[in-house]
């Protein structure tokens, strides 16, 4: 990737007493080093990409400390990496996006949690839930419970998050349990500060290696009969040890208060939202001092029964704030209270929403119901008035607008190499009829939005081809699976391609070869054009993905017989290759490699290069497209085939015409899709391609001058 | 220690890739420089380009001692508890006002006056844009103070991203107890310093001036309104005509239409235009009261769409428009060619048989079309060479000039004849409608909007219009002419809403009219290989 993390790496080097300023996820990264972590791995994904990106770039410093960093091929390989801590006293940390990453990792996690760990292991998961999330809405909590792993959900305060990382490793070692730490989206991106400690170089490391491997120990294998003993150990020794640690080190926080007839139990991650909600009732001040007792669970699994009983006894009622469903914590507390015959009423999902992010408004509404039920009539009126006023304002704005505002989902970048393929696919379907299209995870999933509205299903990262296995034989027309190179290496090669070849599936697979896992932040993969090629390319404008053939050779090696490579911007060719694939007599797996390097990465190379050429007075040609406003038909068919952000509308300069015309605005990178579409789809002849040459060479200037003088004669006639 | 003040809350709305993250970083740094406790956060992922994103910052307005308890900041905005809402796009501003974020007696709103149209707005076949007026009204109604200005232009002129301009605006708003010097220091420390500083200063200056003039609302509306074309000024052309016999309200449009006909064809054609409009004016005048009350809107709109239809786009017209001197000037401006730079312009054309046949007499045209149909029946693609004509080249320019001189050929062409027949058919329907019910005439005249473009787009528009004329304007049964007028209006709106024609069919069916004819689209139908025959059961 072409982004530099120098500034972040400097932050990682801070020593004791210095103050760190920055994002939550970088603070976690620093905390790993302060804890003496020996190895780090993971798979990128919002919101935790930053952890790994920075670590990978900080290779020099990591070598100094003796820390091994690995960008794993998927979450399963990251989880398996933690196997190092089963036998050896090595602290290890891995990271990924959850719930999806945890799903992929779960096989290895089960097999890790069963024998348990010697060295502390921490799994940092970005809980991609609520506003801004991009995956299915499920809870990581279930995995912690089923595999008996600790789950930390820290208060979103940098100092607390850092402390919980350090405690997490100790807790893991004290209990032999792997520890998960879930961080919500906003907690990963929160900017704050904390006072640093020195980084600890791990005792055993890449600089101080073990002389010999550990001895054979059957009990450390996830294999029968050892697994039967492991299950017992979890309940009889490990979980109790974890509970002891949680209590002894005050990981959960109990806040007592004056009005102690009611109480609130809250996941640590929701603490700030709860305090802001309580401020609305005038039950908390700016600094978090509350008038109602609170039990803040920085560790949400395992729960410590004694903490709940002591909190609940003597209260008229308690309410549990637990985001997501099902309400595992609330259910466990209910069981606990029932078993000990404690009659304190327990509320939670009965007063708060079952699904969705717990926003401050939603929490306030739930608490208002709770307080009024138990007679705290003095605190609810201002909140009820506030809730009603919010509603009234929303209605007032809605009344003012002619229609609800159109949504604005993310989309393909300007000049994205994937957009033209979906234009071609739209056009190809005009010829062969609608297709069953299995979509996948990646930037290309943006094609599910308007104007392409393409794709029948998304079954997971790299799963598109596998997901055609059941439907393809049932449909007359061939089915199409779309996959990015990121998804291909993550999973698609094995679950999709291998299976399709083995079963002789008659399907079409289109692989976007853009060179990076772009949707997660353009991380590099095995087929990324190598750095030397990128640095030494003479023409930085060109796509360099063709310089790496790992995907092609892998597919040939696996036995793919029908494989065609096509340059994505050539819409006519892409359309033709699609038609070929769908009408070919060849009955096996047909693979189309759609090649075009990620525009985001290219622009990061191109911009400084062009600026340098410009400065040194060398010839630079830039391309952009335009629309002739008096020729444009104003029906916007071109936009319905592309939706490039720079192809937009402006008022029609012709006073007789009422509909806006298409226009190309600044920012056009001259990818050429407009012109290609105009040709392939026979759109109106309003598009032109403009090449602007700065510092033209002498012969160019001469030719231009001759042309100009001849044309002048014509123009007069 | 100062009293229990609340944090100052700032909600930043931007589009992915606009630098909202950098802006948040700057704000946090500036507060830190000023010694104030601060927290910022956001939701966007790393590569979620062009979608709407928000950033949220809280600043505690007093410095705290090292060991003092720190405020608990919120990670998400609270409806009605925002002090400053800053947004780089007008619709996004209102999206968050619509979520209840802004409060009239608390929130200062700083918003871009410009729109970045959403994909949804851009897809519409007519005009799907959300009008700016209600958006501006929402801002002024739900803010304590508001400053709406053109951030994009300021950013462009300063050679920087919009984030620097937003920071300048925030600094100038005075909502934060942070000095200009402190903001500037943060920018100076940044790698993108120089350009950002220019953008910052430009916005700071612009807003301070605007604030001093205390004329926010006026300036907001001045920027937000789309320029209204001056229709009274008719272009000056050779032939003169006297429009006195026409109603006054119709004359400006008529003058434009007349000039368009002269530009497109000749004086004879322009006279034909006047004759046609005259018929409609007479028909509308039969409903004198309504016609006057509505300023002859039917005749006006009919004159507009008739001019556009009569000046239908063909190869000659396109070649003419593309080879005009004014066009080359416009292109140079649009792509921003600087002195000393060379410009090469390539025009994308893909003329098909239909376009060529249009200029030929009917008999020849029919033969040409049938030749192409036969080719296609044999599996060949339709004959339509994809051309990139270099306008800067001598041959390219000459060929356009030669094509544009073929105007004389036009009236002898098959397309010309066909268009005139259809135009007469539409006009007859408008005239009939206008005589029986003013509203019906008006709706039928407005249907002229369906005619635009080239090739299949143009064909489809004509088919839809004719279908409305044949089935809604005449045949279908309605209890009254008012109801018929409503049906015509619904059909027109539907036809503009959806290019597949499905929405139109829904309206037609609901009014008891037949659906539009399904166009023939040749589909290559490919069956999968047949499944293998079941193998005989193995012998025991």
> Which H, E and C letters describe A573-589, residue by residue?
HHHHHHHHHHHCCCCCC
Is residue A475 within a helix (H) or strand (E), and if so which, with residue range? none
Q: Do B98 and A288 touch (CB under 8 A)?
A: no
Q: Quick check: A457 contacting B, CB < 8 Å?
A: no
DSSP notation for B170-200: HHHHT-SS--HHHHHHHHHHSTTHHHHHHHH
**Are B8 and B29 within 8 A, CB to CB?**
no
**Distance between CA atoms of residues B456 and B464, nearest Å:** 12
Question: Phi, psi (5° rounding) for residue A497?
Answer: -65, -50
State in Å, rounded, how far the first CA of chain B is from the last one. Answer: 96
pLDDT under 50 in chain B at which residues?
1-3, 46-47, 215-236, 539-540
Judge contact between A134 and B45, C-beta under 8 A: yes
The structure tokens listed for A89 are 């006293």
Please list every residue in chain B whose beta carbon sits closer than 8 Å to the beta carbon of residue A430. Answer: 521
Reading the block at residue B127, the tokens are 């005009």
Q: Tens digit of pLDDT for each residue in B400-426?
A: 999 999 999 999 999 999 999 999 999
List the single residue in B with minimal CA-CA distance to A395. B98
Give the residue ranges of DSSP H helices in A401-436: 419-432
Torsion of CA A628, A631, A637, A639, to 10 degrees: 10
Residues 211-250 in A contacting B (C-alpha not used; CB under 8 Å): none
- Give the burial string for B138-165 (b: 16+ CB within 10 Å, else e): bbbebbebbbbbbbbebbeebebbbbbb
A189/A198 Cα distance (integer angstroms): 24
Q: What 3-state class would DSSP assign to B248?
A: helix
CB contact under 8 A, B48 and A156: no
Looking at the complex, report in whole angstroms how far the Cα of residue A233 sits from the nearest Cα belonging to chain B. Answer: 40
Query: What pLDDT, on the 0 to 100 scale, is given for residue B3?
Result: 47
ipTM of the complex: 0.95
Question: What's residue B355's pLDDT?
Answer: 87
**Crossing angle, helix B481-497 and helix B438-446, to 10 degrees?**
10
Q: Does residue B358 sit at the A interface (CB-CB below 8 Å)?
A: no
Cα B169 to Cα A139: distance, rounded to the nearest angstrom: 41
Residue B347, chain A, CB below 8 Å: the answer is: yes
The CA distance from B517 to the nearest CA of chain A, in Å, is 18
Structure-token match 């409503």, residue found:
B486
- In DSSP terms, A122 is beta-bridged to A93, A179
Strands (E), A85-166: 92-98, 121-127, 150-152
Query: Token pair for residue A647?
Result: 């192809």
Per DSSP, what are the bridge partners of residue A649? A662
pLDDT at B476: 63
Q: Give A712's contacts in chain B (Cβ within 8 Å).
A: none
Instruction: Tell me the sheet residues that pair with A482.
Output: A510
pLDDT at A472: 94
User: Could A451 and B125 be called an inter-chain contact, meaning their C-beta atoms sit closer than 8 Å?
Assistant: no
Q: Is B528 within 8 Å of chain A by CB?
A: yes
Coil, strand or helix: which one is B221?
helix
What's the pTM?
0.93
User: Among candidates A490, A396, A483, which has minimal Cα distance to A447?
Assistant: A483
C-alpha triplet A563, A565, A567: angle, nearest 5°: 160
Query: Which residues from chain A sit within 8 angstroms of residue B528, using beta carbons?
Result: 473, 475-478, 506
Superfamily of domain B8-222: Pyruvate-ferredoxin oxidoreductase, PFOR, domain III (3.40.920.10)
Residues of B in contact with A189 (CB under 8 A): 41-43
Domains, chain A, with CATH or none = 6-248 (3.40.50.970), 253-400 (3.40.50.920), 419-602 (3.40.50.970), 619-716 (3.30.70)
Which phi and psi (to 5°) does residue A351 adopt?
A: -110, -20
Q: Give dist(CA B419, CA B426) in Å, integer.
A: 11
Residues of chain A with pLDDT under 70: 716-717
Tokens of B315: 């190869």
* Beta-bridge mates of residue B12: B55, B86
Q: How many C-beta neighbours within 10 Å does residue B19 have?
A: 23
- Other beta carbons within 10 angstroms of residue A219's beta carbon come to 12
Q: Is A200 exposed, middle or buried (0-12, 13-18, 19+ CB in 10 A)?
A: middle
pLDDT at B225: 39
Residue A181, helix vs strand vs coil: strand
Distance of alpha carbon A396 from alpha carbon B167, whole angstroms: 30
Contact B222, B134 (CB under 8 A): no
Q: What pLDDT is recorded for position A173?
A: 98
**How many Å apart are CA A444 and CA A452, to the nearest integer?**
11
Determine the Cα–Cα distance for residues B135 and B151; give it in Å rounded to an integer.
Answer: 17
Residues 399-418 of B with CB under 8 A from A: 401
- For A449, the closest chain B residue by CA position comes to B119
H-helix or E-strand spanning residue A597: none
Q: Could you tell me where in chain B the CATH 3.40.920.10 domains are found?
A: 8-222
Q: Determine the distance from the C-alpha atom of residue B62 to the mean position of all C-alpha atoms in its chain, rounded to a whole number.
A: 47
Partner residue facing B401 (CB), from A285, A640, A714: A714
Distance CA A565, CA A593 (A): 5
DSSP-assigned beta bridge partners for residue A317: A262
Distance in Å, alpha carbon of A633 to nearest chain B alpha carbon: 4
Helical (H) or strand (E) element with A713: helix A698-716
Strand ranges of the sheet holding B342-349, from the earlier edge strand across to the other edge: A620-627, A687-694, B342-349, B387-390
Q: Element (H or E) spanning A11, and its range?
A: helix A6-12
Cα A496 to Cα A510: distance, rounded to the nearest angstrom:
12
| pLDDT the model gives residue B148 | 94
What lies within 8 Å, CB to CB, of A649 at 6+ separation is A636, A639, A660, A661, A662, A663, B117, B121, B122, B129
Close Cβ partners of B470 (under 8 Å, ≥ 6 residues apart): none
Beta carbons of A521 and B346 less than 8 Å apart? no
Do residue A717 and residue B401 have CB atoms under 8 angstroms apart?
A: yes
DSSP string for B134-147: HHHHHHHHT-SEEE
Within 10 angstroms of residue A529's Cβ, the number of other Cβ atoms is 19
- Number of helices followed by number of strands (H, E) in chain A: 27, 26
Of B100, B321, B349, the CB nearest to A394: B100
- What whole-number distance in Å separates Cα of residue B172 and Cα of residue B209? 10
In a 13 Å sphere around the CA of A117, the CA atoms on its Cβ side amount to: 37
Which stretch of DSSP H or E encloses residue A322? none
Burial (CB count within 10 angstroms: exposed 0-12, middle 13-18, buried 19+), residue A700? middle
How many CB atoms neighbour CB A235 within 10 A?
10
Instruction: Supply A288's token pair.
Output: 């978090």
The answer to whether A32 touches A8, Cβ cutoff 8 Å, is: no
Interface check for B113 against chain A (CB to CB < 8 A): the answer is no
DSSP one-letter code for A408: -
- Cα–Cα dist B45/B36, whole Å: 28
Cβ-based contacts of B389 with chain A (< 8 Å): none
Tell if the CB–CB gap between A359 and B452 is shorter than 8 Å: no
How far, in Å, CA of A675 to CA of A172, rounded?
Answer: 60
* Interface contact flag, B388 A675, Cβ < 8 Å: yes
Query: Is residue B130 within 8 Å of B91, Cβ to Cβ?
Result: yes
CB A271 within 8 A of CB A233: no
């Amino acid at each position: 990737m072409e982004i530099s993390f120098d500034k972040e790496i400097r932050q990682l080097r801070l020593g004791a007493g210095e103050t760190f300023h920055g994002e939550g996820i970088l603070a976690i990264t620093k905390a790993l080093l302060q804890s003496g972590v020996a190895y780090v791995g993971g798979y990128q994904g919002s919101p935790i990409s930053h952890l790994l990106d920075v670590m990978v770039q900080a290779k020099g410093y990591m070598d100094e400390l003796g820390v091994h960093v690995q960008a794993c091929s998927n979450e399963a390989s990251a989880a398996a990496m933690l196997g190092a801590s089963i036998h050896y006293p090595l602290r290890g940390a891995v990271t990924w996006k959850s719930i999806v990453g945890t799903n992929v990792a779960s096989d290895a996690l089960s097999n890790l949690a069963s024998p348990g760990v010697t060295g502390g292991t921490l799994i940092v998961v970005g809980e991609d839930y609520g506003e801004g999330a991009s995956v299915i809405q499920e809870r990581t909590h279930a995995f912690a419970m089923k595999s008996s792993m600790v789950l930390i959900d820290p208060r979103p305060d940098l100092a607390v998050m850092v402390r919980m990382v350090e405690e997490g490793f100790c807790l893991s070692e004290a209990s032999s349990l792997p520890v998960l730490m879930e961080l919500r989206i906003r907690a990963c991106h929160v900017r704050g500060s904390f006072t640093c400690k020195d980084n600890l170089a791990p005792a055993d490391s890449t600089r101080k290696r073990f002389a010999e491997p550990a001895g054979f120990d059957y009990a450390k294998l996830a294999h029968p009969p050892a697994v039967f003993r492991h299950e017992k150990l979890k309940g009889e020794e490990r979980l109790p040890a974890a509970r002891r640690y949680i209590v002894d080190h005050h990981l959960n926080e109990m806040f007592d208060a004056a009005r102690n007839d009611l109480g609130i139990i809250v996941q640590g991650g929701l603490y700030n939202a709860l305090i802001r909600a309580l401020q609305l009732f005038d039950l908390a001040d700016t600094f978090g001092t509350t008038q109602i007792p609170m039990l803040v669970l920085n560790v949400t699994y395992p729960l410590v029964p004694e903490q709940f009983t002591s909190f609940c006894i003597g209260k008229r009622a308690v309410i549990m704030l637990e985001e997501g469903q099902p309400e595992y914590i609330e259910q466990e507390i209910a069981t606990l209270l029932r078993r000990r015959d404690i009659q304190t009423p327990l509320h939670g999902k009965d007063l708060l929403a079952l699904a969705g992010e717990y926003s401050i408004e939603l929490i306030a509404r739930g608490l208002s119901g709770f307080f009024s039920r138990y007679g705290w009539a003095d605190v609810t009126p201002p909140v009820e008035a506030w809730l009603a006023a919010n509603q009234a304002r929303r209605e007032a704005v809605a009344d003012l607008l002619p229609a609800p505002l159109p949504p604005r989902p993310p989309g393909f970048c300007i000049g994205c190499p994937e957009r033209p393929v979906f234009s071609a696919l739209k056009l190809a379907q005009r010829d062969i009829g609608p297709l069953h299209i299995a979509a996948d995870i990646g930037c290309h999933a943006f094609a599910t939005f308007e104007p392409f509205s393409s794709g029948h299903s998304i079954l997971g990262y790299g799963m598109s081809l596998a997901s055609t296995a059941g439907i393809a034989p049932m449909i007359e027309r061939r089915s199409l699976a779309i996959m990015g190179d990121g998804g291909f290496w993550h999973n698609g090669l094995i679950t999709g391609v291998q299976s399709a070849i083995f079963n002789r599936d008659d399907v079409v697979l289109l692989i976007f070869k853009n060179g990076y896992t772009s949707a997660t932040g353009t991380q590099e993969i095995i087929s990324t054009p190598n750095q030397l090629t990128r640095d030494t390319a003479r023409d930085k404008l060109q796509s360099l993905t063709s310089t790496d053939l790992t995907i092609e050779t892998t597919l040939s090696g696996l036995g793919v017989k029908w494989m065609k490579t096509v340059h994505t911007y050539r819409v006519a060719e892409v359309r033709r290759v699609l038609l070929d694939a769908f009408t070919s007599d060849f009955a096996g797996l047909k693979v189309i490699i759609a090649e075009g390097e990620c525009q985001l990465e290219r622009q990061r190379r191109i911009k400084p290069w062009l600026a340098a050429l410009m400065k040194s007075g060398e010839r630079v040609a830039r391309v952009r497209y335009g629309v002739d406003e008096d020729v444009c038909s104003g029906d916007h068919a071109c936009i319905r085939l592309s939706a490039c952000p720079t192809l937009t509308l402006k008022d029609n300069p012709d006073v007789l015409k009422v509909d806006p015309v298409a226009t190309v605005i600044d920012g056009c990178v001259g990818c050429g899709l407009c012109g290609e579409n105009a040709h392939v789809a026979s759109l109106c002849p309003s598009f032109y391609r403009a090449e602007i040459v700065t510092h033209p060479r002498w012969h160019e200037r001469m030719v231009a001058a001759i042309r100009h003088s001849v044309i002048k004669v014509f123009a007069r006639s | 220690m100062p009293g229990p003040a609340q944090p100052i809350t700032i909600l930043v709305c931007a589009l992915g890739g606009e630098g909202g993250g950098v802006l948040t970083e700057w704000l946090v740094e500036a507060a830190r420089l000023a010694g104030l406790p601060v927290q910022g956060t956001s939701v966007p992922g790393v590569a979620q380009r062009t979608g709407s994103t928000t950033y949220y910052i809280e600043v505690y307005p007093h410095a705290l001692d090292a060991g003092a308890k720190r405020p608990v900041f919120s990670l998400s905005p609270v409806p009605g508890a925002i002090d400053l809402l800053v947004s780089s796009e007008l619709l996004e501003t209102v999206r968050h006002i619509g979520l209840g974020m802004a409060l009239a007696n608390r929130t200062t709103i700083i918003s871009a006056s410009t729109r970045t149209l959403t994909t949804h707005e851009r897809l519409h076949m007519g005009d799907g844009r959300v009008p700016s007026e209600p958006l501006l009204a929402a801002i002024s109604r739900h803010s304590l103070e508001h400053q709406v200005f053109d951030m994009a232009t300021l950013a462009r002129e300063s050679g920087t991203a919009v984030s620097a301009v937003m920071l300048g605006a925030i600094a100038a708003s005075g909502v934060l107890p942070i000095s200009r010097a402190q903001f500037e220091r943060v920018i100076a420390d940044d790698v993108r310093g120089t350009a950002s500083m220019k953008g910052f200063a430009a916005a700071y200056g612009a807003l301070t001036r605007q604030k001093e003039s205390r004329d926010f609302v006026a300036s907001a509306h001045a920027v937000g309104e789309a320029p209204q074309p001056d229709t009274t000024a008719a272009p000056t052309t050779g032939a003169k005509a006297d429009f006195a016999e026409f109603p006054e309200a119709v004359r400006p449009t008529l003058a434009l239409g007349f000039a368009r006909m002269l530009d497109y064809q000749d004086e004879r054609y322009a006279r034909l235009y006047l004759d046609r409009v005259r018929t409609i004016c007479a028909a509308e005048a039969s409903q004198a009261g309504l016609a006057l009350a509505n300023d002859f809107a039917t005749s006006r709109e009919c004159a507009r769409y008739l001019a556009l239809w009569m000046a239908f786009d063909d190869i000659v017209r396109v070649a003419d428009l593309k080879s005009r001197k004014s066009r080359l000037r416009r292109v140079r401006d649009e792509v921003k060619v600087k002195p000393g730079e060379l410009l090469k312009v390539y025009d994308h054309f893909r003329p098909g048989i239909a376009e060529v046949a249009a200029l030929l007499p009917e008999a020849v045209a029919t033969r040409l079309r049938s030749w192409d149909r036969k080719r296609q029946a044999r599996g060949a693609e339709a004959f339509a060479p994809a051309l990139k004509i270099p306008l800067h080249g001598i041959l390219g320019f000459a060929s356009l000039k030669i094509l544009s001189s073929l105007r004389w050929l036009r009236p002898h062409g098959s397309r010309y004849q066909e268009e005139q027949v259809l135009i007469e058919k539409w006009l007859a329907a408008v005239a009939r409608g206008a005589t029986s019910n003013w509203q019906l005439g008006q709706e039928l005249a407005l249907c002229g909007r369906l005619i635009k473009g080239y090739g299949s787009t143009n064909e489809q528009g004509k088919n839809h219009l004719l279908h409305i004329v044949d089935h809604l304007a005449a045949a279908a049964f309605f209890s009254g002419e008012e109801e018929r007028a409503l049906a015509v209006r619904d059909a027109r709106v539907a036809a503009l809403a959806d290019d597949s024609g499905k929405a139109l069919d829904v309206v037609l069916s609901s009014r008891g009219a037949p659906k539009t004819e399904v166009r023939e689209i040749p589909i290559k139908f490919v069956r999968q290989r047949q499944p293998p025959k079941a193998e005989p059961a193995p012998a025991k």
